[in-house]
């Protein structure tokens, strides 16, 4: 028989073919509503039975953190099962409070540095430096454990052990809402995203999202004719070098002589050149750094050099540059942007005005 306050049941267990009767475990009184609000688990004082939690989504991260199931919250209508130390009601997983000793750091980098010194001690500072280097806090971006281990003459497993020890303490470190927000915010362009991710993991917070891609620069609003004229002028610049705007405008007008497009002005051409990343300096326009001269343009410029040539000599230079005979004897002589007419049946390359 059992003393008062204990009850028995007809529960039986079979083992090796033998039926063994067992007694029911003590039936404890249902806790009051006030006791259900916050109750300390008798097994571990760091675990709390919490019924009413903060509704702020950050609350779960800077004040409390999910722990292994050591006890269950007893909600209304839930059943309870007894453990060796008391009642473990079935319900929501219990959360534990960040009960560590606060640190005075005002930035995530300061917190991690102070935490590493606290955990690893002041006698082996190379361990602290290795942990800070792992988080990208030693003046260089974060690297892999193998690189850090080689830098400090230790094994990668040692670096992993030190980082794990610091992270175990960081999971219990009290944080302010502002600090938690700063650690978990999205990374900005230029920041060490890998290092910030490791800092968040060490402090037991959600990892930050990757930075947003840069917004492409708005393309200037210019007409297709301006783009085409700028392309012609840049090919001339890449072949002959810096030239003034009037010379480029003449070259564009020659190349568009038999086209129906409206005649461009100097301002239209200048706007197109700026949009194509050509640069003016000292009254001359320079081709963009990535601009290259067409092969036939270079051959024609080498054949003519600085000479004045007649029509037959120009046709021969065009043929040597790779143009067909029908094109060379046709309108290419009068429409090629590199060629300018200097007199009766006399031609030369476009150049700076003398």
Higher pLDDT pick, 12 / 307: 307
| Residue 130 tokens, joined | 């290795």
pLDDT of residue 26: 45
User: Where is pLDDT greater, at 38 or 219?
Assistant: 219
Provide the pLDDT for residue 261: 60
- Lowest mean pLDDT across 108-112, 232-236, 300-304, 331-335: 331-335
- Take residue 1 and report the two structure tokens written for it: 């028989």
High-pLDDT (> 70) share of the chain, %: 69
Q: Is the pLDDT of residue 286 over 90?
A: yes
Q: What is the model's pLDDT at position 244?
A: 92
Out of 37-41, 64-68, 300-304, the most confident range is 300-304
State the pLDDT at residue 259.
Answer: 67
pLDDT at 348 over 80: yes
* Unique residue bearing structure tokens 């480029």: 248
Give the integer Cα–Cα distance in Å for 19 and 23. 13
Nearest CA to 323 out of 338, 310, 309, 308 is that of: 338
The pLDDT of residue 38 is 39
DSSP letters along 76-125, please?
TT--EEEETTEEEESSSBPEEE--SPP---SSHHHHHHHHHHHHH-SS-H
Output the pLDDT for position 204.
Answer: 92
- CA 1 remoteness from chain centre: 71
Alpha helices in the chain (DSSP H): 33-37, 59-62, 108-120, 125-134, 145-152, 156-170, 177-184, 193-202, 224-240, 245-255, 266-275, 295-304, 311-321, 325-328, 332-335
Kindly list the distances between the CA atom of residue 251 and the CA atoms of 7, 245, 317, in Å, as whole numbers in the listed order: 107, 10, 19
Domains of the chain, by residue range, sit at 12-97, 108-202, 224-286, 295-349
b/e per residue 294-332 (b: at least 16 CB within 10 A): eebbebbbebbeeeebeeeebbebbeebebeeebbbeeb
Cα gap 329→49, rounded to integer Å: 96
SS3 171: coil
Taking a C-beta distance cutoff of 8 angstroms, is the pair 145, 164 a contact? no
Mean pLDDT score, 113-140: 92
For residues 299-306, average pLDDT: 89
Give the chain's mean pLDDT.
Answer: 76
Pairwise CA distance, residues 338 & 318, whole Å: 11
Pick the most confident of 53-57, 122-126, 204-208, 343-347: 204-208
Residue 333 neighbours by CB under 8 Å, 6+ apart: 311, 314, 315, 318, 339, 347
**pLDDT reported for residue 260:** 58
What is the model's pLDDT at position 55? 43
Look at residue 134 and tell me whether its pLDDT is greater than 90. Answer: yes
170-184 per-position pLDDT tens digit:
999 999 999 999 999
Structure letter (DSSP) for residue 340: E
Q: Which residue has the tokens 């301006």?
A: 226
Mean pLDDT is lowest, of 44-53, 78-87, 112-121, 263-272, for 44-53
Alpha-carbon distances of 222 from 17, 170, 268, 269, 337, rounded to whole Å = 93, 56, 9, 10, 22
pLDDT band at 67, cuts 50/70/90? very low
- pLDDT band at 79, cuts 50/70/90? very low
Among 25, 31, 128, 12, which Cα is nearest to 81's?
25
- Buried b vs exposed e over 143-167: b needs ≥16 C-beta within 10 Å? eebeebbebeebeeebbeebbeebb
pLDDT in tens, 24-65: 444 444 545 544 443 333 333 333 333 333 444 444 444 434
| For the chain, percent of residues with pLDDT exceeding 90 | 44
In this prediction, residue 40 carries a pLDDT of: 39
């Amino acid at each position: 028989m059992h003393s008062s306050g204990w009850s028995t049941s007809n529960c039986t267990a079979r083992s090796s073919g033998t039926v063994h009767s067992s007694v029911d475990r003590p039936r404890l009184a249902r806790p009051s509503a006030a006791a259900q609000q916050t109750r300390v688990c008798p097994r571990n004082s760091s675990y709390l039975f919490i019924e009413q939690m903060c509704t702020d989504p950050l609350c779960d991260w800077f004040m409390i953190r999910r722990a292994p199931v050591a006890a269950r919250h007893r909600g209304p209508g839930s059943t309870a099962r007894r453990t060796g130390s008391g009642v473990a009601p079935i319900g929501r997983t219990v959360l534990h409070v960040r009960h560590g000793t606060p640190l005075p750091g005002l930035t995530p980098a300061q917190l991690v540095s102070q935490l590493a010194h606290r955990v690893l001690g002041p006698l082996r500072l190379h361990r602290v430096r290795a942990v800070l280097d792992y988080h990208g806090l030693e003046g260089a971006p974060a690297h892999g454990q193998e690189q850090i281990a080689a830098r400090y003459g230790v094994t990668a497993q040692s670096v992993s052990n030190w980082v794990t020890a610091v992270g175990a303490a960081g999971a219990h470190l009290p944080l302010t809402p502002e600090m938690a927000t700063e650690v978990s915010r999205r990374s900005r362009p230029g920041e060490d995203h890998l290092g910030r991710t490791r800092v968040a993991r060490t402090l037991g917070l959600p990892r930050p999202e990757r930075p947003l891609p840069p917004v492409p620069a708005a393309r200037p609003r210019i007409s297709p004719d301006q783009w085409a004229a700028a392309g012609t002028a840049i090919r001339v610049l890449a072949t002959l070098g810096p030239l003034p705007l009037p010379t480029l405008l003449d070259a564009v007008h020659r190349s568009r002589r038999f086209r129906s497009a409206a005649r461009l002005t100097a301002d239209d051409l200048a706007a197109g050149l700026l949009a194509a990343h050509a640069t003016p300096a000292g009254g001359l326009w320079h081709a963009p750094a990535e601009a290259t001269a067409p092969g036939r343009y270079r051959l024609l410029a080498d054949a003519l050099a600085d000479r004045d040539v007649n029509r037959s000599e120009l046709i021969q230079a065009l043929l040597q540059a790779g143009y067909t005979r029908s094109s060379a004897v046709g309108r290419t002589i009068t429409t090629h942007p590199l060629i300018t007419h200097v007199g009766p049946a006399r031609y030369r390359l476009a150049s700076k005005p003398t």
